[in-house]
Amino acid sequence: MKRLLFTLLLIALPLAAQEAKKEDEKNVVLQPGVPRVQKLFLLKYADPNHMANLLSVFNASVRPDSDMHALAVEATKPSMAAIEEAVQRLDVPSAASKNIEMTAYLLIGSEAAGTEPGAMPKELDSVVTQLKNAFAFRNYRLLDILALRTRVGQSASTSSSGRGVQIGSNTQPVTTDFGIRSAGIGGDETTIRIDRLSLNSHIPVQTGSSGQFSVNNVGLQADVDIKQGQKVVIGRVSVGESALFLVLTAQVVN
């Protein structure tokens, strides 16, 4: 009989300890005697279950509802204020849902007299002025424009046959490959970071007076930080006696 009572006691003690632990955990959350408030948060972007996991660091009871895309929260007033601030910061569109649009302008600087009238877009006037002040080339003309759009964190590439180069009485095509490994948005929300930008152009260059030419294969690679809307000269590569300039602009779009 005594052995049976002792056995029952051994079984009861762990069960009592578990119940006490549950009660302690319950008390940690509910804090009896401390005024509490309730609030319903209707989320716009964040996943309710993920949000509930993050809010578990606060002394609060958080119940997520995926169907309603909502959180039911019970907490003390100080904790509720902190939770409201956290929800405001976290319930925002994901950066991964944003797109980045880039426009690459290829300019040729040379000593050749004259350029095509109106060949240079008006938005590049300030860039051309800077180039003329920085380099000795007399004239600049637009070789090509390439547009590229990608999601944050993803790679992208495009190609173009260009506007061609006049050699003798013929126009020889210019081919260009342009791409990036990835693009992201800086913490200031105004800077676009482009990783492993790559440009490769195949540009015909006249080698004789009777229309002979050779093709120059030129390219550049760079990691770039660029402010939204700014036009930045990324690099210069020599093409015979001329030079190819890459001018880039980028924008974040939803």
* Predicted pLDDT at 2: 43
The DSSP line for 179-224 is: EESEEEE-TTSSEEEEEEEEEEEEEEEE-STTS-EEEEEEEEEEEE
Element (H, E) at 103: strand 99-110
The predicted-structure confidence for 95-144, as pLDDT tens digits, reads as follows: 556 889 999 999 999 887 654 544 688 999 999 999 999 998 989 999 99
Q: Letter for the amino acid at 164?
A: G
Q: Are the beta carbons of 115 and 254 closer than 8 angstroms?
A: no
Whole-prediction pTM value?
A: 0.62
* pLDDT band (50, 70, 90) for residue 187: confident
* Predicted pLDDT at 254: 73
Number of Cβ within a 10 Å radius of residue 37:
13
As a CATH number, domain 27-92 is 3.30.1370.120
Domain layout of the chain by residue ranges: 27-92, 97-253
**In this prediction, what percent of the chain has a pLDDT beyond 70?**
82
Residue 52 has pLDDT above 70, yes or no: yes
Q: Return the higher-pLDDT residue of 28 and 81.
A: 81
* Predicted pLDDT at 94: 67
